[in-house]
Structure formats: structure tokens, C-alpha cells
């Protein structure tokens, strides 16, 4: 398909931008009814492997380990991912190791903010640990994509 050819998807996206662009919102109004993200909660297969990966590869700090209130065999951890936000994981050792399937309601990937220096450091860590990654763009203006031990897609980005 030629870049000049307009598709139904392009028309739909243009209509969404026109309808929902920020300039359509009343000045000074805020429709957000929360204070932002407290934590994202994901499921892992091995809590110790997850702690090791996110602390030593991604550089997060483990801030809390507690039992899961709903499942006594499950552990709930919180990792500080910066900016006052946390990444949480549950393990469910008595529930099996079935993987989720990408689809409606599932998460595609987790994108983390970084400076160009932090992105360069991340690439060096990934190289040193022989973790496969893809660089999209450049180190000063781009993203690196890689997967955690359970296959969760992570992006570290300087923004575009």
C-alpha cells in the first residue's frame, strides 16, 4: 500500500483526533478523577526470578513484599519504578503456569521513561546479560524493547 493512499483506519484516526483533541476540552477543566497511577499489577511465574530481573536488569528497587489478601499461597511484591509509581507482581504457585494470550483486556507492553543516558545504560546491561533487544530510533530519541523472564514486553523510551 502506498503511503499516499488514505485508508479507512486513517479516516477513523482523524475523526478521533478531531473529536477528542485537548483543545476541545474547556480551559482549566480537569476530567481526571484520580491522582494518577499507584501501581500496575501483573502476574509472574517465579517471584524470586522476577525480583532478580527487575532489580538487577531494569534497576528498580524492591519496596514491599506482602501476602496476597485473596490467595494465601500468593506473594505480592512492589517495585519502585520511579516517578512515585510502582510495578507490582503476584505469583500464584497453586494455579499452574498457563500463559495469557494477547487479546482484548490484556496488556501489550509496559513503557518506562528514560533519559538518553539511562537508555544507553539499559542497552549496556542488556548486552552484558545477553538479553535480546530491539532499538527503535536512536539512543537520544528512541526506545529499546526487550522481554522479562515471563515474556512481558518492556519498552524503555526517551520519548519522541
**69 is in which domain, residue-wise?**
36-98
- Residue 1 pLDDT exceeds 50: no
- Residue 6 pLDDT exceeds 60: yes
What pLDDT does 94 receive?
Answer: 84
Q: What is the pTM of this model?
A: 0.81
Closest C-alpha to 70, from 43, 90, 41 = 90
Instruction: Assess if residue 12 is contained within a domain.
Output: no
Rg of the Cα trace of the chain?
Answer: 19
What pLDDT does 85 receive?
Answer: 92
Average pLDDT, the chain: 88
CATH number of the CATH domain containing 126: 3.10.180.10
Is residue 84 domain-shared with residue 115, that is, in the same domain? no
- Residue 57 pLDDT exceeds 80: yes
Question: Residue 76 and residue 101: Cα distance in Å, rounded?
Answer: 22
How many other C-beta atoms are found inside a 10 Å radius of the C-beta of residue 69?
8
Instruction: Assess if residue 30 is contained within a domain.
Output: no
What pLDDT does 27 receive?
Answer: 59
Is residue 87 domain-shared with residue 109, that is, in the same domain? no
What pLDDT does 29 receive?
Answer: 59
Task: Say whether 90 sits in a helix, a strand or coil.
Answer: strand
Sheet-wide strand order for 142-147:
110-113, 153-157, 142-147, 134-137
What are the tens digits of pLDDT across the range 104-141? 788 889 999 999 999 999 999 999 999 999 999 888 88
Amino acid at each position: 500500500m502506498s503511503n499516499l493512499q488514505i485508508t479507512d483506519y486513517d479516516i477513523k484516526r482523524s475523526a478521533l483526533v478531531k473529536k477528542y483533541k485537548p483543545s476541545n476540552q474547556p480551559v482549566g477543566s480537569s476530567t481526571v478523577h484520580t491522582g494518577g497511577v499507584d501501581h500496575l499489577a501483573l502476574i509472574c511465574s517465579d517471584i524470586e526470578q522476577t525480583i532478580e530481573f527487575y532489580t538487577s536488569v531494569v534497576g528498580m528497587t524492591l519496596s514491599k513484599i506482602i501476602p496476597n489478601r485473596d490467595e494465601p499461597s500468593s506473594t505480592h511484591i512492589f517495585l519502585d519504578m520511579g516517578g512515585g509509581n510502582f510495578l507490582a507482581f503476584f505469583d500464584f504457585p497453586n494455579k499452574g503456569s498457563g500463559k495469557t494470550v494477547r487479546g482484548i483486556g490484556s496488556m501489550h507492553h509496559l513503557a518506562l521513561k528514560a533519559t538518553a543516558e539511562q537508555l544507553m545504560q539499559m542497552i549496556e546491561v542488556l548486552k552484558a546479560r545477553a538479553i535480546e533487544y530491539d532499538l527503535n530510533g536512536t539512543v537520544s530519541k528512541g526506545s529499546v524493547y526487550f522481554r522479562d523472564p515471563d515474556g512481558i514486553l518492556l519498552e524503555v523510551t526517551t520519548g519522541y
